[in-house]
Amino acid sequence: MTIKDARKWIAIYFLLTTAATGAFLLLFSGSIILPLGSEDASASFQILVPVLVGQVTVIFQWLALANEAAPENNLPSPVASWAIKLPPILAFAIILTAAFTLALANRADVNLSTSPGTFKNALTFSVTLLNASTIFLVARLFPHKDSQSSNIDRQ
């Protein structure tokens, strides 16, 4: 995976995840798919979506600053491919699992104790996982304005 590929993958992932998660929380709360009351759904939305929107904004800012013709784009990524892809995949899997178990626990014939609070905790954990990995990845994969101008000055 090249640096350019890594940057694109992160940007596409966060854009799709932000849109899908926001739509899921807005459209399906209170339904059999996501049996959260309006207060819990609103709290869940407020936990996750602002963080994801912030990360999309940061990543798209860096993409706007990046020079497509820069030779560094074709260099191998300094971060292993699994370290780029696994945190968002795990966060998405945690959110889906939490939603599934919450829906399942709502059935009378199932003995599960998943609550809306557990769902919100799963969202908080996912946000923490994404924040930690994104901070590291942005620092390693996206250009800093100062380093970009230094590279231009050297050419």
Alpha helices in the chain (DSSP H): 3-28, 38-65, 81-105, 116-141, 145-154
Domain interval for residue 66 = 3-144
Give just the sign of the alpha carbon dihedral 80, 84, 85, 89. positive
- Give the CA angle between residues 113, 90, 73 to the nearest 5°: 165
Question: Within a domain: residue 50?
Answer: yes
Question: Within a domain: residue 134?
Answer: yes
Question: Within a domain: residue 154?
Answer: no
Question: Within a domain: residue 105?
Answer: yes
pLDDT score at 146:
56
- pLDDT per residue, tens digit, the chain (155 aa), is 888 888 888 888 888 888 888 888 888 888 877 788 878 888 888 888 888 888 888 888 777 776 666 777 778 888 888 988 898 889 889 988 988 888 887 776 766 777 788 888 888 898 888 888 888 887 787 766 555 444 434 44
pLDDT score at 149:
43
Question: Within a domain: residue 155?
Answer: no
How many domains in the chain? Answer: 1
pLDDT score at 53:
86
- Give the CA angle between residues 50, 56, 59 to the nearest 5°: 140
CA distance 46 to 130: 16
CB 120 within 8 A of CB 45: no
Q: What is the largest CA-CA distance in the chain?
A: 69
pLDDT score at 150:
41
pLDDT score at 155:
41
Question: Within a domain: residue 152?
Answer: no
